[in-house]
Structure 1
Amino acid sequence: MNEGEGDAAIPPIEAGPAPPPAAPERPSDEDILAQQNLLRAEQAQRSEYVGNEEPLSALKEEYINGNQNFVSKIQKLEATYKAFRRTRGDGNCFYRGLVFAYLEGLLLNQDMAECERFTSVVQSWKGRLVEGGFQELVFEDAMELLLDQVKAVRKPQSDFGHEGLLINMRDDMVSNMIVMFLRLVTSCEVQLHEDRFFPFILGMYDEPPATVELFCQRYVEPMGEESDHLHIVAVAEALQIPVRVVYLDSSGAPSGGGSGLEVTTHDFVPDSCPPGTTPRVHLLYRPGHYDILYPR
């Protein structure tokens, strides 16, 4: 056998088509939610807890190239509201907007009678919170910080003015401790009137917490948890502050002539208020967020 005679050339094995690249793994719902929360937190850190007063035209500009129903509603709001003030979108915007707008009203109107009434109501919550199982050590300093803002309004010849209130409510410690106190008051109010609030809880969640106490521990007391109808009812009752919420969303019936949707408003007036009581605080609700409104 000649050299190489038995070594017949072996044809190369032809490679088949390359497998398609693996599809990127879809992020889980938890990953998506975590990313959204991170973006939201980063955006929130770039804004003040309480912003400056702005004309409603600034809000309208946000939607001028997008949601025309919102533009139409804002145009209607301009007939009754002159301005708005943004609050940080950190989940605490309802409480922060509520307390700033209320204290600002006391300051601008120099309403001494209301200062005294509010002080008395806040002080009365000390005993109720303790009876409700909250440790005085946890909330006492926060309660005093809130009362300090009212004292500054009442003090004759005080140099505490609008700028002073803004500085305090933009301060991390002062602002967040006051919000924390309001959350505890809301929680205690809900638990003290369980029969009234438990039907709300049952209607709000597919898997509602088993008890009002568990609901409050999960959705009311923690900082950053968003607020809805139940929270507004509870804190308005607890502090006896009438609140109006204007809803900038897709709710409402078409207005006459087909020019967009009517603005939906809801007044949360405590049972203790006499008939005809007008709201002391006006808030603008956009899905997931509350800002402050200023009536004309």
Structure 2
Amino acid sequence: MKKYLITILTISLLMNYNGIAQSRGIRIGYIDMEYILEKVPSYAEAKNQLDQKAEKWKQEIETKKSDINKLKEALKTERVLLTKELIEEREEEIAFQENELLQYTQKRFGPNGDLIVQKTVLIKPIQDQVFNAVQDIAEAKKYDYIFDKSSDLTMLFAAKKHDISDKVVNVLTRAEKREQMSKKQQRLEEEKERKQELIDDNPELSERQKKSEERKAARLQMIEDKKLAAEEKRKEAEENRKKLLEEKNAKKNGTVSDKSNSETSGGTSTVKGTETTPTVDKKAEAEAAKKKSQEDRQKQIEDRKKAAEEKRQKAISDREAAKKAREEAKSKP
């Protein structure tokens, strides 16, 4: 009966504010308290401890039941051998233990038992946090009504877009994280949260944000490619300079002359006093090494460009799929 009264009252409120809804638009949201509690780490840990206690109580009850059954079986077996007074004494003992078992069961699992009381004590602080978070979200997002899906209110249908349970969970988890953060980390986290909320509330902004990130990634990739090419060029120039310096020192010390004289059969050296110029073979090798280095560098650049293009195409494909999913969700009644 209470459930129906709440439903009728809700419908009456919505009908009374129908005129306001036409002029301003009433914002209605809902939460699922059971879902939120499952997502809160502190509640899950405390609930696990309570479940362990309940399991221990159940084992104690089963042990008492087993003892009582043993007494009953013993009485049944020995009844023909016992006097009337002993039988009555045994039956009184069994009745007494059964009564104790019933009282213990009520104490642990009754309507006002330890399990219900401790669950209430456990859930109360979390509920207070949820209510505070809901109020903050309602004030910030201009909600007129926020209902609890897991309460006595009967919700025949509720669109997922009106579910703010995840927002409440985010508020609670962020509050726990802030307790372990420095002031600078808290400011950065708050700025990140503010930007994310803007994106969540404005799908078009989300699309622009994605495009901006893609352009930024492409620019960073281009800069990285240029840096790589410049680094390769610098290394090549350094190697050439080092090689020329070694050849110059060799000429100065006269070490190239003897070697070139022993290889005059190739006819590729030009002798001037005791100094010789590098052979054609060495020049060809240097040119080949330079060409190979350029080809390797060009291949690396092409590979990076190919990877960047694949990443960009994948991002475009994912964005189109998400857009199509949203359109399909909107088109559903």
TM-score bucket of the superposed structures, by smaller chain: under 0.3
Q: TM-score, normalised by structure 1?
A: 0.21
- Larger helix share, 1 or 2: 2
- Larger strand share, 1 or 2: 1
In terms of Rg, which structure is larger? Answer: 2
Q: TM-score, normalised by structure 2?
A: 0.19
